[in-house]
Structure 1
Amino acid sequence: MTESNVDRDVLDTLREVMEDGYPELLETFLADSENRLHELQDSTSAKALSDVAHSFKGSASNMGATRLAELCQDLESHAKDKSPEALAQLVADIHSEFAAVRPVYENEKDPVHTH
């Protein structure tokens, strides 16, 4: 599990700020991420890929998923000049990174973690 790819300080701050809304925030992030992953797979134009990557990058960054945000930044910046194969690989990398960090967010929803 790539715990290091999630910035714990960001999560701790979010937990403090959101308090009771924190589990819901995690749920929303996971659901939105799933939707964006589907959109990335379905997108055929560079513009669409770039747009989805931009919004995904923002939410990943806000949630402390640093590596995921970097991959989305890469896709957003290079969607227009990468080959279809390279884009497909980058989308696959984003998929696998989300799969790697997802358990961190799932675990955060567990009431055992609340203070």
Structure 2
Amino acid sequence: MNYGRIDYQALAELKEMLEDEFVELVETYVRDTHQKLTTLTELSPPQDADEVRKVAHSLKGASINLGLLRLGEICLALEAQAKDNIIRDYEQHLEEIQAEVDFVFGELQRL
């Protein structure tokens, strides 16, 4: 387990608290994350910087709420750059997000 990337204790607590609804929460997160990734790939900074900021902010919040810390950090960095309308290496951000999403989805399937 990579404890710096995911707060497994927070996930376990959510799973215990939500019981059967935890599966629905994870399914909703996965579906919404796919949609947000699609949106991010369709946007073109700097002209779409505000929309990039909104999507990154939303994905950051949803990820952190599930204890998906590294994904939240990556999205926070993108959100901050978009807020300042200075997005550097947008494609690299997208690749980092996609790689972390792939890792996170694999971990969520194991729960």
Q: TM-score, normalising length from structure 1? A: 0.85
Moved beyond 3 Å, runs of 4+: none
How far off is 1:9 after superposition?
1.1
Equivalences for residues 52-71 of structure 1 within 5 A: 52-71=55-74
Count of matched residue positions in the alignment of Structure 1 and Structure 2: 105
How far off is 1:70 after superposition?
0.2
Paired residue type of 1:104: E
Look up the SS of the partner of 1:6 in the other structure.
Answer: coil
Higher relative contact order by CA 8 Å / sep ≥ 6: 1 or 2?
1
Q: Matched residues in 1 for 2:40 and 2:2: separation?
A: 24
Q: Matched residues in 2 for 1:51 and 1:14: separation?
A: 26
Identity of aligned residues (%): 31
Q: Give the aligned partner of residue 97 of structure 1.
A: 100
Q: RMSD across aligned C-alpha pairs, in angstroms?
A: 1.2
**Consecutive unaligned residues in structure 1, runs of 5 or more:** 109-115
Q: Give the aligned partner of residue 113 of structure 1.
A: none
How far off is 1:8 after superposition?
0.5
Is the CA contact (8 Å cut-off) linking 1:71 and 1:93 kept in structure 2? yes
Q: TM-score, normalising length from structure 2? A: 0.88
